[in-house]
Chains A and B, each alone.
Chain A
Amino acid sequence: DAGVIQSPRHEVTEMGQEVTLRCKPISGHNSLFWYRQTMMRGLELLIYFNNNVPIDDSGMPEDRFSAKMPNASFSTLKIQPSEPRDSAVYFCASSSGLAGPYEQYFGPGTRLTVT
């Protein structure tokens, strides 16, 4: 049974370039979360989707960040233009419900390095 799938696992890019991170949630899950993990700030929620609709994007740091979920099985997080301070591990997580707390299943993450 496949878990949350993220690609790429590692991304190295130069400052100013566009970066696109991809996520495939667990089949049947209707909630999707994007997190960022750094040593300084820990795990931060960036944006949350429910039934493909963005519900809370208050954690998105700047307009350079955007996220989409065109269908129930795919989501992207885009950074344009990228900056060195965007270097972090980005996690996608999915869960099966909105009503009440449900376990969030995390993907393996994408380690982004911006030089």
Chain B
Amino acid sequence: GENVEQHPSTLSVQEGDSAVIKCTYSDSASNYFPWYKQELGKGPQLIIDIRSNVGEKKDQRIAVTLNKTAKHFSLHITETQPEDSAVYFCAASKGTGFQKLVFGTGTRLLVSP
């Protein structure tokens, strides 16, 4: 089955710096890659997603890139702010029917003022 690896497990940056989180997946049939943000005491919340027919997607300070050949995708956060501090999860799924998400192990991002 699908296996998703995520790095780093923790990331500390200064406010205003950029942060990059990387994930690799094993199943070349995977075609949907969402990123979720989980704040303390809350459920994960989708922040951006990308499908396999696109190489990059941006939404304000957040961008995701996908390299299908290498089977990896990355989350880029620019101009980080303290409120970006949270745990970020990548995930992968395949098919056009039931979208079973396989999650990475999470990255704890700390943005210091």
Contact = CB atoms under 8 A, between A and B. Distances in A.
Contacts, number: 51
A19 B106 CA distance: 28
A56 B46 contact: no
Contacts of B43: 4, 91, 93, 106-109
**How large, as a class, is the contact surface on chain B?**
20 to 34
A109 B44 CA distance: 10
B97 A98 contact: yes
**How large, as a class, is the contact surface on chain A?**
20 to 34
A48 interface: yes
Interface string A1-33: 000100000000000000000000000000000
Interface of B: 31-32, 34, 36, 41-46, 49, 51, 89, 93, 96-101, 103-106
